[in-house]
Amino acid sequence: MTSRRIRIDVPALTRVEGEGSLRLEVRQDQLIELGLSIFEPPRYFEKFLEGREAEEVVDIVARICGICPVAYQISALNALESMSRQMASPWVRSMRRAFYCGEWLQSHALHIHLLALPDFLGFENAIAMAERHPNMVKRGLKLQGLGNALVRLFGGRSVHPVGARLGGFHHAPAPDEVTALADRLKAAQQDAGDLTRFCASLPLPDDPQTFICVALHHPDRYAIESGEIRTSTGLNLSANQFEQHFHETHKPDSTALWSDLDGQPYLTGPLARLNINHPQLPDFLLTRLGEIGLELPSCNMFHSLIARALEIELVLHEAIQLLNDYTYPKSPYTALPLEPGIGYGMSEAPRGLLWHRYELDEKGLIRAARIVPPTSQNQARIEADLHHSLTTMGLDNGEDVLKLRAEQVIRNYDPCISCSTHFLTLKKVET
Amino acid sequence: MTAPVRYPQPSLTCNPALPTEALILDRVQETEDIFTLQLRLTDPHQEWRLGIQPGQFNMLYRFGVGEIPISFKAIGKDKHGQPVLEHAIRRVGRISGALAALKPGDRIGLRGPFGTGWPLQKAKGQDLCVVTGGLGCAPAVSIIEHAFANRSHYGHIHIIQGVKHSADLLWRNRYEFWAQQPDTTVLMAADVAAPGWPWYSGRVTELIKLLPLQPGQTLVCCCGPEPMMQASAEQLILRQVPAEAIWLSMERNMQCASGHCGHCQFGADFICRDGPVMPYPRLRDRLGLEGV
Amino acid sequence: MTRPRVAVHKFSSCDGCQLAFLNLGETLLQLNEQVDILHFLEAGMNDASADVDIAFVEGSLSTPDELTRIRQVRANSRYLVSIGACATSGGLQALRNLDGNHDEWRDAIYARPEFIRTLKEVRPIAAEVRVDLELWGCPVSSTQILAAIRALLFGVAPVDDRDRVCLECKRQQAVCVMVTQGIPCMGPVTRTGCGALCPRFGRDCYGCYSPSETAQTATLARRFSGLGLLPDAIARRFWLINSQAPPFLQTGRVFHRSAASDPDD
Amino acid sequence: MPAADFLPRSRLPDLLAVLKAQGYDVIAPQVIEGALLYRPLQHCRQLPTGIRQQQQPGRYRLIATDSPRQFSWANGPQALKPLTFAPRETLWRSHENDDGTLSFEEVPVSPPALAILGVRGCDLAALALQDQHFRDDPYYQPRRQSLLLIAVDCSHPAETCFCASTGDGPKATIGYELALTELDDGFLVRAQGARGQAILKALPLDITAPAQRRQARHQHRAACRQLRRLPSFEPAQLIQQGRHPAWDEVADACLGCGNCTSVCPSCFCFSTSEAPDLNGQTSSHQRQWDSCFSEGHSYIHGRHIRPDIRTRYRQWLTHKFGSWVEQYGRSGCTGCGRCISWCPVGIDPLQVLSRLSDADPDEP
Ligand SMILES: Cc1cc2nc3c(=O)[nH]c(=O)nc-3n(C[C@H](O)[C@H](O)[C@H](O)COP(=O)(O)OP(=O)(O)OC[C@H]3O[C@@H](n4cnc5c(N)ncnc54)[C@H](O)[C@@H]3O)c2cc1C
Ligand code: SF4
Ligand code: SF4
Ligand code: SF4
């Protein structure tokens, strides 16, 4: 066998949110180097939260990520409101779930259509794909648009919405707006079903792996805006126990902060959620699982795509229920006095577990903050997956094939790199 | 029972806010940033708009960009001898810049005519004195062209023009031509004159001192920057010209040109409707007030 | 007719302003008929060094690499538009400029700070290269982006509306939150563009569209004080998303100092 | 026998029914977001029953009481202006056709017939001013003509009101079809013009008792005693007082936000803008409320005639109280007090006017 040396350098990954690069080197069919790096510069959010008022936090943390601002807002509110003796009203809790459904809907639709599908259908990007598959792309844009509309209903705009506040919302939407949107959501359910079937019909690579799943679980419903951590290793943890099991470390040759669960890489995000919470899916989705022949839990990472499609159906269904029951409240929020101390909170961002911790002083100002976003949690898993997938596929494959597979693998996690609140990976400093 | 009153819908042709299409027949680059458009209105029903008088203006509209007020310069003739509307425009900003990019054959929108013109009736039988300052003042050119086209209506014609720099003088050959005409005085001054400038250097007000005026029977048409118009008017009054015989052309921001948008207010006057041409006594105590 | 070539570049940011494109829905496909998008990583177009007619730049400059990259973008682009608060004023992350303690923060967070190559201060795009148009807002809206593109397609500069949020607030028939609830609203010194979103949602504007023209920040700060805000709370109002925009920076500084020198606080 | 002109409160729904039967949509002030805003009225329960107001410079609060009265407050943030002079509207659309020709398309206004319940005298006076200003405006007029105005005499002027001194209130005197005087148990009703009379005739009215009439007179006298009044000044002189130190003082206090002009029922300034479609084939020519406090208001190429707050405030005050007299035969102010309440920093133009009559050290 002749010796072969391939060096793949993707200096700027496309169709991911934020900026990152991939570098791998194969020598004699051995993977000798593999690095996913994120060169998103640090933005020090945790630091400048210090000294701000609790009320300001929602407007600040939204700006950590333009794609999932609602997730940041709700995790922060969960953490802060845990420092109050009172709870937000039932109205507020349901409407937060509806608000959050909007974000899942827009984020998943955006990911599937604009970021992931071009890989599977062989296009450079969604716009090129639209020339051949206009209706499919339009369907995706429509679902994404509906998600945005749902976020706007409660937040005024879909990026950095302005509606959320401590104790609830600043504003309650008018009942006729709610009904009008609910009708549009209903009309899209058919499309969403078609989307799931379509995703399930794609020739996704079949590449079973073993990995640990971590997701929030709620006793009464598919966890989105609240729940406790459950892992496929059998742990059940509340938010304040997170730090006892999840650690951030440095790999020696990198500057990134990597999370591990008791020393192991783990998966968070749609597939992890579905693997853990699928028994709670509404009946029509359980039927859908049978229809498309998806067995859960699944250990094929590429089923993440189908998981997103199923979650689109789920949140459409959830949002419709919640909006159908809408009543115009007397007040869209309750003033919740916060007590000094430490508050922990989390929620399921579209990409996975998002954990926050705040320490509040006597004046009601933030003394310290810590935020662990999903992408940093998945980082170790992504590299493990890359290693596994490429080796299994065969490192003797051509460079383009390897590169495409590598990018597919990365995109499959929908890494949202811009949320680099406090972590950073630079390209390996070349000597 | 009386039913609620329904207001009749305005009809397309009488809506003063609605533009009509004008075809650019020709475009002449006068200086680096001034150009003249020759326009023909494409809708024959709109020809009444050609009744525009010197001193009045139109709102010219560039598709998708917006409208600006532009004074009437002249009614010229196209190559078939048909009357065409001429507007001289200085490219200074967004919309004038967009108009500058147009070529013959392109279309624009036009609303008008708006505003008061020069008091042609009052001027009949009198000497005419046109005082301008600054660059290519279309309202002045329009009255001069009109006066020469109706030469018998007027006595002596005085034309005084001041520019900052001699190189700024626009339509120089027109001025030279007018200077040749009988019963006509043309005086020009540049604050800064290049060598070979045949006229004066200095300010317009200095020229006024030199004019052979017949104060009681002269009507003055003045346009240019406000301080210059004010100084000229005061100088003319010193020369015994009655204030009522001095007319100024004013300029303010205009959004609607129909006296509604409020932008062009100058004290109690709406410049688009009560002006732009107004008698000096009306303006005297407000000219020069800061912020008015 | 050749379509104008467009690029979308990202610097330090949350990606939210790029979404003004990705959230266009079917209009995104229409836009693609009007312009040729050559570089836009998130959307899958990758040609960072292409010569383009219009470059949209999101994000602020916070690493030495970014300085090099923005110069390259400038050199390749005929018309450069910076979009969003990060690009126009440094954005929220420019809060780190205020304390001048960037190194301390970095060292507190990273075990190997020597690997972190960042600038001591976050800079807006215009601090480094010539910018032809700035679209303010955190985030910019799709409407702003489309209006700018359309104007450029017509060959004219886009309209730069620097009016205050209050004007739009009243056009939208929102009820003033400052007058009815005594909430400290930044609307009177903030530029429109958002459609007075916050007051329409019954809350205070927090200044995400940057200072308006003739922003009377000192007058407003006095009013905030009349509403019961302490000096450091006033400083925080001005030092949020556009802390580096001069009128906000200045007024924030005045009250930050007076808070520091106030022993009762 | 005296004519029946008393509508017991319990029969107010009959008024609504009559209006609906005659084809009107009814709107009336309702409590929304802590203020009184005009909204469609389906039933009388939506009226602000028992609501009182506190209005002070820069401050507006509603207070609930158990009074049965539905109109015992002064006014909301907007008068009738948004109903006739839309805050933003498309005037016309243009199309660039494939052959390069342009066509223009009118965007006509076709408003529904609207009956407005609860209009104040000051606002009717302001409407009359706008009627003059927009008399030939093809967008204002259709909306204006489709209004039916039902006034309610003001019985609870706010601290910021001074309509008694401008002569525009508290009683409605001009421009209404129907006017009501609210008492605890009902309304005295009067009508103007044929449309008003027709409605009056259709109402189930009682005879007003002498005591009720006395109460109405007493209430009117009380409402005329207002805390504020228009100071005396010489309108034509205002514009000449450019160097008075009052302008610098007010410029220091003013945000330049333009709220006073936006809430003023007589202010009429607008700007226009162009909104082309992305494909560049159609464009809408729009207008929107503008203010003499905006930078675009006085801009002409190369200079801002009013670059600062001082000159902008001066324009607002000298126009409203001065030039207006020359333009429309009276001052532009009808004493509603909105510009005082809704100014976020509580500037009171009446104080500025008084200050201007102080001898100015600089002026000869
Ligand atoms: C009655 C009248 C007659 C005029 N006649 C002529 C003429 O014959 N030739 C000529 O070249 N110019 C004339 N002008 C000036 C011309 O209207 C301005 O140069 C033009 O409006 C500038 O527009 P812009 O968009 O290119 O400039 P920008 O500087 O981009 O201005 C932005 C906007 O401000 C407003 N604006 C700016 N300057 C003026 C101004 N001077 N007057 C009114 N509105 C303004 C317009 O709405 C304009 O679109 C006249 C102005 C008036 C009021
Ligand atoms: S709510 Fe804010 S933006 Fe609106 S008018 Fe009041 S101060 Fe201005
Ligand atoms: S109101 Fe202010 S904070 Fe809210 S979106 Fe607009 S500019 Fe931003
Ligand atoms: S000036 Fe003030 S008090 Fe007078 S009508 Fe206008 S808003 Fe009302």
Once rounded to an integer, what is the mean pLDDT over residues D183-193?
A: 96
d(CA B224, CA B228): 7
Ligand nearest to the CA of C168: 2
Please state whether at least 3 CB pairs lie below 8 Å between chains A and B. no
Q: What is the CATH number of domain A50-377?
A: 1.10.645.10
Assigned domain for D48 exists? yes
Please state the ipTM of this predicted complex: 0.92
> Strand C52-58 and strand A164-165: pairing?
unpaired
H-run or E-run covering D93: strand D88-96
CA distances from B30 to B61, B75, B136, D11, D283 (A): 21, 17, 9, 75, 31
Shared domain check, D111 and D35 = yes
Name the burial class of residue B203, with classes exposed (0-12), middle (13-18) and buried (19+) by CB atoms within 10 angstroms of its CB.
middle
Distance (Å, whole) CA D72 – CA D48:
9
Which residue, of D205, D224, D243, is where some domain finishes? D224
- Alpha carbon distance C196, A156 (integer Å): 10
Q: Which distant-in-sequence residues (6+ apart) come within 8 Å of A330 by Cβ?
A: none
> Å from A211 to nearest chain C CA?
28
* C151 contacts chain B (CB < 8 A): yes
Choose one of D189, D224, D259: the last residue of a domain.
D224
How high is the pLDDT of residue C101?
67
The helix, strand and coil proportions of chain C, stated in percent and rounded to the nearest 5, come to 45, 15, 40
Task: Kindly report, residue by residue over D105-121, the tens digit of the pLDDT.
Answer: 999 899 999 999 999 99
| Lowest-pLDDT range of A389-393, B68-72, B228-232, D255-259 | A389-393
User: What is the residue extent of each domain of chain A?
Assistant: 50-377
D363: pLDDT strictly greater than 80? no
Which position has the token pair 């009379």? D197
DSSP-derived pairing of the beta strands B74-77 and B157-165: unpaired
Q: How far apart are CA B112 and CA B262, in angstroms?
A: 18
pLDDT > 90 fraction of chain B, expressed in percent and rounded = 64
In a domain, D98, yes or no: no
Q: Which tokens is C48 given?
A: 């960072």
The letter for the amino acid at D303 is R
CB C214 within 8 A of CB C194: no
Q: Which of D146, D239, D323 sits opposite B289 (nearest CB)?
A: D239
Question: Other CB atoms closer than 10 Å to residue A137's CB: what's the count?
Answer: 24
Residue keyed to tokens 């959501």 = A185
Which residue of C170, C192, C201, C223 is the best one to mutate when testing the D interface, meaning the one whose CB has the most D CBs within 10 A? Answer: C170
pLDDT at A7: 63
Q: How is residue C86 written in tokens?
A: 């990060």
List of domains in chain C: 5-153 (3.40.50.700), 165-261 (no CATH)
Regarding the beta carbon of D334 and ligand 4, being less than 6 Å apart is answered yes
Of C27, C173, C188, the CB nearest to D344: C188
Reference C251, options D347, C199, C96, C225; nearest CA is C225
Q: What is the DSSP string of D113-127?
A: PEEEEEE-HHHHHHH
Query: pLDDT value at position A395?
Result: 82
Question: D82-103 burial, b if ≥16 CB within 10 A, otherwise e?
Answer: bbbbbbeeebbbbebeeeeebe
CB A317 within 8 A of CB A109: no
Least Cα distance to A420 among B167, D325, C110, D335 occurs for C110
Beta carbons within 10 angstroms of residue D220's beta carbon = 15
User: What pLDDT does residue A36 have?
Assistant: 73
Cα–Cα distance measured from residue B140 to residue A416, given in angstroms and rounded to the nearest whole number: 65
Which token pair is B114?
């708006």
The phi and psi torsions of C183 (rounded to 5 degrees) equal -85, 135
Give the whole-angstrom CA distance, residue C118 versus residue C109.
14
Per-chain mean pLDDT for chain D: 95
The CATH class, in words, for B120-283 is alpha beta
pLDDT at A431: 27
The Cβ of residue A363 has, within 10 Å, a number of other Cβ atoms equal to 12
Q: Which residue, D179, D181, D204, is CA-closest to D190?
A: D179
Same domain? For D315 and D352 the reply is yes
**Distances in whole angstroms, Cα of residue A365 to Cα of each of A52, A152, C92, C191:** 5, 29, 18, 28
D339 part of a folded domain:
yes
D80 and D212 share one domain: yes
Contact D59 C179 (CB under 8 A): yes
The verdict on D28 and D72 lying in the same domain is yes
D26-69: pLDDT as tens digits: 999 999 999 999 999 999 999 999 999 999 999 999 999 999 99
Mean pLDDT of B82-109: 95
What gap in Å lies between CA D76 and CA C173, rounded to an integer?
11
Each domain of chain B, given as residue ranges in start order, spans: 20-114, 120-283
User: Which pLDDT belongs to residue C264?
Assistant: 47
Q: Which pair of structure tokens corresponds to residue C233? A: 């709370």
Per CB-CB distance under 8 Å, the chain A contacts of C197 are: 156-157, 162
> Do D247 and D128 sit in the same domain of this protein?
no
Give the residue carrying structure tokens 């300029």. Answer: B251
How far are the Cα atoms of B104, C22, D101 from residue C151, in angstroms, in the given order? Answer: 22, 20, 20
> Do both D44 and D158 map to the same domain?
yes
Taking the C-alpha atoms of residue A21 and residue A417, their distance in angstroms, rounded to an integer, is 11
pLDDT along chain A (431 residues), means of 10: 56 59 76 70 81 96 93 98 96 98 96 90 89 93 97 97 97 97 98 97 90 96 97 96 88 64 93 97 97 94 95 98 96 96 97 96 94 85 87 83 83 67 27 27
Separation in Å, CA D312 to CA A184, B193, C214, D294: 47, 39, 11, 8
Q: Which residues of B touch C146 (CB under 8 A)?
A: none
- The single-letter code of the amino acid at C117 is R
CB atoms within 10 A of CB A264: 13
Q: Is C29 touching B (CB cutoff 8 A)?
A: no
C160 interfacial to chain B (CB closer than 8 Å): no
Rounded-to-integer distance, Cα A159 and Cα A162, Å: 9
Residue owning tokens 């709220």? D259
Residues with CB under 6 A from ligand 3: A 162; C 165, 190, 194, 196-198, 205-209
Amino acid at D270: F
B269/B235 Cα distance (integer angstroms): 25
Domain span at residue D211? 4-84+107-224
Question: Which of 60-99 (A) contact C at CB < 8 A?
Answer: 60, 63-67, 69
Residue A75: predicted pLDDT = 97
Give the torsion sign (CA, A389, A391, A396, A400).
positive
B96 vs A90, B31, B93, B191, D303, CA distance in Å? 59, 14, 6, 27, 16
User: How far apart are the C-alpha atoms of D181 and D9, rounded to whole Å?
Assistant: 11
Residue D332, pLDDT above cutoff 80: yes
The overall pTM is greater than 0.90: yes
Residues 6 or more apart in contact with residue A397 via CB below 8 angstroms = A405
Residue C198 CA to ligand 2 center (angstroms) comes to 9
Report yes or no on D315 lying in a domain. yes
Q: What is the model's pLDDT at position A16?
A: 57
Dist CA B130 CA D1 (whole Å):
76
- Token pair in block for residue C150: 């359309």
Partnered with residue A106 across adjacent β-strands are: none
How far apart CA A163 and CA A154 sit, in angstroms, is 6
Does the domain spanning B20-114 belong to CATH 2.40.30.10? yes
**In a shared domain, residues D278 and D351:** yes
Is residue D174 domain-shared with residue D267, that is, in the same domain? no
Place of tokens 């009509």: B20
pLDDT of residue A35: 73
E strand intervals along A122-181: 164-165, 168-169
Q: Would you state the pLDDT for residue A207?
A: 83
Q: Which residues contact D83 (CB under 8 A, 6 or more apart)?
A: D38, D114, D116, D143, D147
Q: What is the pLDDT along chain C (265 residues), one digit of tens a residue?
A: 589 999 999 998 989 999 999 999 999 999 999 999 999 988 888 898 999 999 999 999 988 989 999 999 999 999 999 999 999 999 998 998 887 666 776 666 665 666 667 788 899 999 999 999 999 999 999 999 999 999 999 999 999 999 999 999 999 999 999 999 999 999 999 999 999 999 999 999 999 999 999 999 999 999 999 999 999 999 999 999 999 999 999 999 999 988 777 554 4
pLDDT at A401: 83
What SS3 state is found at D157? coil
Nearest ligand 1 atom, CA B97: 26
Same domain, D208 and D307: no
Number of domains in chain D: 2
End-to-end Cα distance, chain D: 65
- Whole-angstrom Cα distance, residue A421 to residue C32? 33
Q: CA nearest C35: which of C96, C67, C98, C79? A: C79
How far apart, in whole angstroms, are the C-alpha atoms of residue D289 and residue A429? 58
Q: Taking residues D271-284, what's their average pLDDT?
A: 96
Domain co-membership, D79 together with D186: yes
Q: What is the pLDDT of residue A423?
A: 28
**Residue B240 pLDDT exceeds 60:** yes
In whole angstroms, what is the distance from residue D82 CA to residue C69 CA?
50
The torsion angles phi and psi of B115, rounded to 5 degrees, stand at 85, 175
Please give the DSSP secondary-structure letter assigned to residue A185. H
Angle, vertex CA A160, rays to CA A225 and CA A372, nearest 5:
50
pLDDT above 90 as % of chain D: 94
CA gap A396, A413 in Å, rounded: 25
Ligand (nearest to CA of D305): 1
Q: Based on the domain organization, do D73 and D181 belong to the same domain?
A: yes
The domain boundary, picked from D192, D224, D256, lies at: D224
pLDDT at A185: 98
